[in-house]
Amino acid sequence: MKKTKILIISFLLFIICFHNAAFSQKNASEIINENYKFSFTLPENAFNMRTEESSNKNAITYEFESTVMDDTVGILLLAFKWNDIKILSDFIYHMEKEVTLDIPQRVSDYTEFDSIYFDSKMAIYKNDNLTHIVYYFRTKDDTSENNFTYLLRFKIFTKDYNKEILEYVNTIAHNFYPRKVIDLESSD
């Protein structure tokens, strides 16, 4: 067990020290991704971070785990780069049907959020084994060369899911920010 902890800590330190240009960190608990225009403050107890970018550089995945009340929460962040603005409901439909995500039946209405630059929806999905709390975001800046969609999924065993877990997940989710592209030449 002690060797496993040392190995995990060593692996996390390796990731922090040797990240690629698409993945930069202000500190050990914040992801700032300039290519996919977002920042995300991680929970202090995040571990087992894995990152993978598609070969055509239009999608990136971050996976890690966190613990709350001795339960493990699996966290997945998918970011996609587009040449146009996507319709949020279309993005949600495709993500809900994506077999590799294995999202169970939705058990809640969507909660909607909106800002000038992006909008989002959140829903809870559940089966006998797992509960998924999923946030969907899309940018909507018609002046930007690229727009982005994001899926932020939290996965926990259904038997461990409760109000405190939902509050913990919502706190983490509110630390994810799509970032507006600022054209420095036009601001002069």
Give CA torsion, residues 169, 88, 64, 59, to 10 deg. Answer: -170
CATH of the domain at 133: 3.40.1000.10
Residue predicted with more confidence, 130 or 141:
130
Query: Does residue 185 lie within any of the structural domains?
Result: no
Looking at the predicted structure, is the pLDDT value of residue 170 above 90? yes
Residue 21, amino acid: A
In a domain, 183, yes or no: no
What is the predicted pLDDT for the residue at 19? 37
Percent of the chain with pLDDT over 90: 65
- Residue 79 located in a structural domain: yes
Q: One-letter amino acid identity for 162?
A: N
Q: Of 171, 144, 164, 87, which Cα lies nearest the Cα of 121?
A: 87
Domain count for the chain, please give it: 1
Q: Is residue 187 part of a domain?
A: no
Predicted confidence at residue 181, as pLDDT, reads: 55
Residue 95 falls within a domain, yes or no? Answer: yes
**Domain hosting residue 26, numbered range:** 2-178
Calculate mean pLDDT across residues 9-28.
38
Considering Cα of 78, then 110, then 48, then 40, what sign does the dihedral take? Answer: positive
Give the full edge-to-edge strand order of the sheet including 30-33. Answer: 24-25, 30-33, 38-41, 176-178
Mean pLDDT is lowest, of 11-15, 66-70, 137-141, 153-157, for 11-15
Residue 121 lies in a domain: yes
Single pTM value for the model: 0.80
pLDDT of 79 over the 90 cut: yes
Do the domain assignments include residue 186? no
Residue 76 domain flag: yes
Q: Helices (DSSP H) in the chain: which residue ranges?
A: 2-17, 88-97, 163-173
pLDDT at 155: 95
Position 182 pLDDT exceeds 70: no
- What pLDDT is attached to residue 179? 81
